[in-house]
Structure 1
């Protein structure tokens, strides 16, 4: 199988003529709107873009005789470069591409914004890439439609808790949350706190939280207290939310964090407040970042196989059939904080 093998049961590609007919405008008007060229009335632009999104139309930037050539480009969309998790995924992607015949990655950042991801993917597909690698399963309806109608391989990375458009490579975050709960209950912790970031914008963190609560429910327990930042995860947010939780009226003996960034912030707060870890309160993270391993008390956490996710995503797009899910697994790191 090659990277450009057409997926089974693909529909025919939507043409600019079909978009123009549906929107009741000329083909040149559609072209100008998509290229952002020349003055166009706002209501006309809005009407055409609604049709574009509804039909999953993608313009073809490779004209004439070049249109039949296979591109060696692999579009990669990740939500952030500031989070060390994703540079490790990119390292794995690079390692996978080294084994191919001159394939190159084109990397874009979505900032966890499904509308921005939609625009990025529309632009990538216009250049007929060999494949598109995205992060997770949360896409706009228009993005999903474009990817389903395209003839490129699609790999959704980091998560396997849903059915993929084509291929999914990652871990079960619900299972990771469940494993966290079981592990901590078995170690004797009973009064659970939770510190996290905005779960509305992070499906994978939300799945881990649901898995954690499921494990606690089986043990006759639940989250006793929680503090959730309205912003993205960071060390600073973890420090602030830990202070808020521990200053509350509900005592806890262990705090589970949405990720290691937040957990490291929690450790910093406890150190500055003279709170013993794990004597007064235990701390447990997620991701297995190097900063956690290097702390005086190594952070107790779950290690995700991020490099393997990226490398396997490339290998899978070259060899695996549509509908494949590949579980790259996770491991509990005992550490010294829980």
Structure 2
């Protein structure tokens, strides 16, 4: 087919004519249809020169793969569902980025779903996405509705749970020990000489991982003989404004507080900015620590002390485990502890 004919076919399809098929692309590229299929599904399995030729044909003809038909024919799609509690929290955005970048390199796409920290909503969402017969699925956390756990165990396909570690993983697990993270910041604040230390969080009735960090914090203070149950929490979602409000609430209730351990960097940043507005000197009047290691913390004044977790790497490792299992590769481990690092800066 010469370029003029191809352009004519492309224009006709743009105006609503017949659909470009895989066979059309194969004919334009001068290869067999099965070669085109292989290049589109597994680009890493064909030579770069051949892939470029097929990509040119796809672009020239305006070919769009029929994913539904392909899924029905092969009993699966190339879409990997990734289920997270929220799409507006930076924590999950960085993890998703790592997952997406890694999966796309192997010809897969991410299908995102958000549960708003609701396990019933998560259960309904999982039932829906599994109806498309995905090759595998990535879930957030280790706590799910019983029917979700049973459904995923019967799936017979790779399941990766992220954000925390535990023995109850359905299949594979990549995350961090949240109790250890909470304990890490508490030990640091104690080592700095602070004795009256409060933990502050938002939405903790749904975000049980924040509660795990509080438990790690509380145990360290209890072991040191310090007041250990100072907890200020609000049911509303985490935000800079919520951090501001929690700071004022805590200092009004306990003016003798020496340090504040926030459940995340967003809250800690809001508190630090409000302290500056109020003329409260950090850390002289009150020390402030956070969790996550967001780049924002380095640009505050004073810079924020935090426990940093490699979120992007967590996403990459989760995707790697899933891909390895899909390819039938032996796994050295089914659980990856992503680790954390205490970043000591001027706020403590």
Tell me the TM-score normalised to structure 1 length: 0.77
Superposition deviation, residue 314 in structure 1: 0.8
Matches within 5 A, 1:63-74: 66=72, 68-74=74-80
Which residue in 2 is equivalent to 1:50?
A: none
1:310 pairs with 2:306 = no
Distance 1:165 1:337, change over 3 A: same
Higher-Rg structure is 2
Asked if the contact 2:198/2:231 (under 8 Å) is kept, the reply is yes
1:269 pairs with 2:274 = yes
Distance 1:224 1:254, change over 3 A: farther
Give CA deviations for 1:87-126 in whole Å, capped at 9, x if unaligned.
11111012211331x1111111111111111111111111
1:229 to 231, 234, 246: 234
Which residue in 2 is equivalent to 1:24?
A: none
Superposition deviation, residue 226 in structure 1: 2.9
Structure 1: gaps (5+ residues): 1-61
Give CA deviations for 1:34-92 in whole Å, capped at 9, x if unaligned.
xxxxxxxxxxxxxxxxxxxxxxxxxxxx8999465443211111111211111111110
- The one of the two structures with greater contact order (alpha-carbon pairs below 8 A, sep at least 6) is 1
Q: Which moved more, 1:242-251 or 1:279-288?
A: 242-251
Q: Greater helix share, 1 or 2? A: 2
Which residue in 1 is equivalent to 2:3?
A: none
Asked if the contact 2:222/2:228 (under 8 Å) is kept, the reply is no
Give CA deviations for 1:311-331 in whole Å, capped at 9, x if unaligned.
100111123659821001110
2:263 to 251, 258, 262: 258
Equivalents in 2 of 1:249, 1:208: separation in Å? 22
Equivalents in 2 of 1:64, 1:336: separation in Å? 56
Asked if the contact 1:239/1:265 (under 8 Å) is kept, the reply is yes
1:176 pairs with 2:186 = no
Superposition deviation, residue 243 in structure 1: 0.3
Matches within 5 A, 1:126-275: 126-223=131-228, 225-249=230-254, 251-275=256-280
Which residue in 1 is equivalent to 2:90?
A: 84
Distance 1:323 1:201, change over 3 A: farther
Structure 2: gaps (5+ residues): 1-67, 326-330
Asked if the contact 2:304/2:345 (under 8 Å) is kept, the reply is yes
| Number of positions where the alignment pairs a residue of Structure 1 with one of Structure 2 | 277
Which residue in 1 is equivalent to 2:61?
A: none
Superposition deviation, residue 198 in structure 1: 2.7
Aligned-pair Cα RMSD in Å: 2.2
Asked if the contact 1:225/1:245 (under 8 Å) is kept, the reply is no
Q: Which moved more, 1:82-91 or 1:316-325?
A: 316-325
Classify the secondary structure of the residue corresponding to 2:137: strand
Asked if the contact 1:277/1:337 (under 8 Å) is kept, the reply is yes
